[in-house]
Amino acid sequence: MERGVCRDGPRIVPPAVPVPGSANASQCLGCSPCRVSSNELAVSYPAGGGWGFPLLYFGIEGLLTVVERPLHIRQWPHLAARAWTIVGVLAPLPLLFNTSFRTELVVPLIRNLGDIAPAPATAFDVLLWVAGAGNLLLLAVSYQVPRRLGWHEDLASLSPFNSKLLWTFGGFIIFTYLSIGIMTLALHDDLLAGERAAVAIALFGGLYWLSRLFTDLVVWRDEDWPPGELVFVGHVMLNGLFSMMTGIYLTFVAWQWLV
């Protein structure tokens, strides 16, 4: 949905940041035949099967582009319009990366990487230290938030109770992620040993940061953020840190459940 994702619809990412495989990167979903053919060759040809499924995927995206205007997507509530974009892109994605592609290319790739990658226990021995330190690193960010976002000026317009209430909310948010970080570092050996309580803490940490990413994706608009290159760079770096910690915690929990 070139218009729905790239221009008219709600943006999932800042316009200056192309995402590989997305409408921003290819500049189309279901557009010119040459692009469709290149995707067909890139997916179906190396897999030796699944011909037509990538074409069908982009055909669906083209159809969604056609129906966006009569459905007046731009006039929908923000969350509904963003949900339309996300579901429209992701729901038919198994057609693009179909069974042949996954069986012939993705599975062998994962197996080959497993042969050269360090053992999971060795990798998580390091990654858990990184995740714990990442939580503590956010304290430096939280320290700057009130000054850089003008909290003192904005909260001055609220009643004393509401102003203190927001400061309390902020304090409990800091307490939560600091607790996740400290427990990750303090229970490092218990996590690797698969202790249920420790793994539960890792699960909570992963879901906590996943919900933070979901909020950034679905609730906040690009224009909600203050202008300025420094804020934009900080926003991107924070989302990168949140994504890293989400990936480490949830991948670790999945590994513990599988072993």
> pLDDT digit string (tens) for 12-23?
334 443 434 444
pLDDT in tens, the chain (259 residues): 434 434 444 443 344 434 344 444 444 444 445 555 677 777 887 778 888 888 888 889 889 888 888 888 888 887 788 888 888 888 998 888 888 888 888 878 777 766 666 678 888 999 999 999 999 999 888 888 888 778 888 888 889 899 899 889 999 999 999 999 999 999 999 999 999 999 999 999 999 999 999 888 888 877 778 888 887 888 889 999 999 999 999 999 998 887 6
The CB-side HSE value for 231 (13 A sphere, CA atoms) comes to 13
C-alpha distances in angstroms, 133 versus 82, 137, 140? 33, 6, 12
Residue 76 neighbours by CB under 8 Å, 6+ apart = 84
Q: Torsion over CA of 83, 86, 91 and 96, rounded to 10 degrees? A: 160
Type and span of the H or E element at 250: helix 229-258
The residue behind tokens 């003008």 is 150
- How far apart are alpha carbons 195 and 188 in whole angstroms? 10
- How far apart are alpha carbons 130 and 69 in whole angstroms? 46
Helix (H, G, I), strand (E, B) or coil at 224: helix
Cα 164 versus chain centre, distance? 32
| Helices 120-148/160-186 angle, 10° precision | 160
> pLDDT digit string (tens) for 23-59?
444 444 444 455 556 777 778 877 788 888 888 888 8
The runs of H, that is alpha helices, within 20-150 are 23-26, 33-47, 53-71, 78-90, 93-96, 99-101, 107-116, 120-148
pTM of the model: 0.63
**227, exposed or middle or buried, with CB in 10 Å at 0-12, 13-18, 19+?**
exposed
